[in-house]
Structure 1
Amino acid sequence: MPYEFDDAIVAVPETGGIYRTPIIGGWDIGVNANGGYLMARAAHAMRMASGRRDPLTVTAHYLAPALAGDASCVTEIVKSGKRISTVVATLRRDDRELMRLIGSFGEVQSESTAHYVTATPPDLPPIEECVARRNQPTPIPMGIAQRVSLFIHPDDAGFSSATPPGVGRMRGWFSFADDRPIDTLALLLAADAFPPTWFNIFGSQGWVPTLEMTVHVRAVPAPGPLRCSFTTRVVQGNCYEEDGEMWDSNGVCVAMSRQLALAPLVAT
């Protein structure tokens, strides 16, 4: 039986580097497709165009909200080297550009001659002691919350009961609801699957649109859920940044992310 995520990112090659990439409903926030899903959806077509196994780094600029429906991904190989291929792409619906991306693809190395890590995984309670995102009240429908399993650190879950802690932080466990193994492409989804850190500063206020997001894939995840942590330090100019780390069951940092998001207009 196919996994839901694989069905949702199917890319059918056409001609001239164009892939048919429909945006599937159920991976959305309200009526708008989730930004991490859109990145993974386009990156799959880019990966196919590159002929490589893994996304190494992908940057996306979000140009318009994307609703479920037909779409295409137009890819172009910028450079194809011995180890890395760089691809640019646009995700389009008819004549409207929804997002523009650039990414480098290759094979993530599990071993290296140099090793230096001072970062540590987030300290999370066991999953059964965390708060299931799908059970939290939300101001708008959250289709994506039924596709992934998010369990939020109790200290970071107060936003859903109108008691945000006032700290720009969101921590928790990530996996797929249908137990799909987490591969390097799924890390792009995980980077944007959690509630915004904004909610824990100012409260839950609906859809927080992403302007730009970059994900660096650092390792192939070991089996099991990811430990995830997202933090914000600067909110100003109606924008804020969100820095993410994703760690696998072996305590390896498998991905890092940064996004710039637009503050909800209702914020004070």
Structure 2
Amino acid sequence: MSQFARETAVEAVGENLYRGELCEGWRVGEVPNGGYVMAIAGRALRAALPHRDPLTVSAFYLAPTALGPIDCQVEMLGGGRGTSFAEVKMFQNEQLKVKVTAAYTDLDKLKGENWSSRERPHYPPWDECPPSRDKGVEFRQRAEIRLVSGQEVFSERKGDGSGEFRGWMAHRDGTDPDIISLLMFADAGPPPVLTVFGPVGWVPTVELTVQVRAHPAPGPIQFRTVCHYLTNGVVEEDGEYWDSDGQLVVISRQTAKFRLQGSPLKKKG
């Protein structure tokens, strides 16, 4: 079993109740990464539902999580032959921390037309891209990032004003991505708003939606994340992710708050 699989594993402890463990190595500051937390919910959903693959998963981060056990209460919401729907409430110390809604399906059975208005960007290969200098974040012990744009945020401590990061991501231990790890990778890159202000703030996620389109091929994940608007301290982040075969595997959007360092407001998630 890979490190990611071990550290997102859940066990059944009651009727539609699953228990996971938030482990060291996945934190941004003191709080476990939101995509990592979503992946644990994804494991619980996979265990509870008749379908195996996440199609779309949305999480609201109501309060900061912490290291230690986390309980996942799954409620079935309905569905049919091709799709099942459910909600997960994630508790620590009897406090509701995260609420997740999801639709699951069998991705290999999907059939239909294909179309795209955007071409996949072409990057230098993984082996030709230097590792990110963003090494002060514990989360980088688990998810490695290699940027092809926006590197100066971490090398020169300044932004380029683009609102965009491009690059590659992979498990630090070299494990190939699986379908559940896509939920984590959708929140693994640095917030693109940092390319505007530099690495001078924290960006807590309020809501994250991950749409999964296909099982990933072995190898690193190519990504592009972008933000267009920062309004009264609220920013959106759109992400596109392709596997090593050039197949689109994930689309994501999240809402976050941006706070400059030294802000009197306390972190909420």
Tell me how far 1:72 sits from its aligned partner: 0.4
The residue that corresponds to 2:183 in the other structure is 188
CA distance in 1, matches of 2:127, 2:178: 24
Query: Deviation at 1:128?
Result: 3.5
Q: CA deviation at 1:232?
A: 0.5
Q: Retained in 1: the 8 A contact 2:158–2:199?
A: no
Structure 1 segments of 4 or more deviating over 6 A?
none
d(CA) in 1 for partners of 2:46, 2:110: 22
The structural deviation recorded for 1:83 is 1.3
1:42-92: CA deviation from partner (whole Å, max 9, x where unpaired) = 111012111321100000000111111121011111114111110101111
Segments of 5+ residues of structure 2 without an aligned counterpart are 264-269
Please give the alpha-carbon distance, in whole angstroms, between the structure 2 residues aligned to 1:196 and 1:26. 19
- Structure 2 Cα separation of the partners of residues 72 and 209 of structure 1: 22
Cα 1:30–1:267 shift into 2, 3 Å: closer
Q: Could you list the per-position Cα deviations for residues 88-125 of structure 1 after superposition, in whole angstroms to 9, with x for gaps in the alignment?
A: 01111022111101001111137633121232222322
What's 1:149 paired with?
A: 144
Distance 1:137 1:48, change over 3 A: closer
What are the residue-to-residue correspondences of 1:153-164 with 2, within 5 Å?
A: 153=148, 155-160=149-154, 161-164=156-159
Residue 223 of structure 2: aligned partner? 228
Alpha-carbon contact 2:241-2:251 (below 8 Å) kept: yes
SS in 2 for 1:193: coil
- Supply the distance in 1 between the matched residues of 2:203 and 2:55 (Cα, whole angstroms): 26
* Partner of residue 29, structure 2: 30
Amino acid at match of 1:175: A
Query: Aligned equivalents of 2:231 and 2:201: distance in 1?
Result: 19
Which amino acid counterpart does residue 156 of structure 1 have in structure 2?
G
- Cross-structure match for 1:203: 198
Q: Cα RMSD (Å) of the superposition?
A: 1.7
Report the structure, 1 or 2, having the larger strand content.
Answer: 2
Counterpart position of 2:241: 246
Aligned residues: 262
Could you tell me which runs of 5 or more consecutive residues in structure 1 were left unpaired when the two chains were aligned.
Answer: none
| Aligned mates of 1:206, 1:146 — CA distance in 2 | 21
Secondary structure class of the residue paired with 1:60: strand
Q: Between the two proteins, what is the percent identity of the paired residues?
A: 33
In 2, are the aligned partners of 1:9 and 1:44 still within 8 Å (CA)? yes
For 1:252 and 1:267, the matched residues in 2 are separated by 42
Matching residue of 1:101: 100
1:17 aligns with 2:16: yes
Shift in alpha-carbon separation, 1:137–1:88, aligned structure 2, 3 A: closer
Amino acid at match of 1:106: T
Q: Is the 8 A contact 1:57 1:105 kept in 2?
A: yes
Match of 1:217 in 2: 212
Alpha-carbon distance in structure 2 between the residues aligned to 1:117 and 1:40: 27
Q: After TM superposition, give the deviation of residue 179 of structure 1 in Å.
A: 1.9
Note the 1:109-124 alignment, pairs <5 A. 109=108, 112-124=111-123
Aligned residue in 2 for 1:71: 70
CA distance, structure 1, for counterparts of residue 48 and residue 61 of structure 2: 21
**Contact kept in structure 1, 2:200 and 2:260, CA below 8 Å:** no
* CA 1:13–1:111: 2 relative to 1, 3 Å: closer
Distance 1:12 1:207 in 2: 33
Q: Does the 8 Å contact 2:163/2:226 carry over to 1?
A: yes
Rate the CA distance shift 1:89–1:251 in 2: closer, same or farther, 3 A. same
1:219 deviation in Å? 1.1
Aligned-partner SS, 1:46: helix
The TM-score with structure 2 as length reference comes to: 0.92
Q: CA deviation at 1:205?
A: 2.5
Distance (whole Å) between structure 2 residues aligned to residue 29 and residue 111 of structure 1: 36
Shift of 1:126: 2.4
What CA distance in whole angstroms lies between the structure 2 residues aligned with 1:198 and 1:215? 19
Residues 152-180 of structure 1 deviation map (CA, whole Å, 9 limit, x = unaligned): 11x31111121211110011111111222
SS at match of 1:37: helix
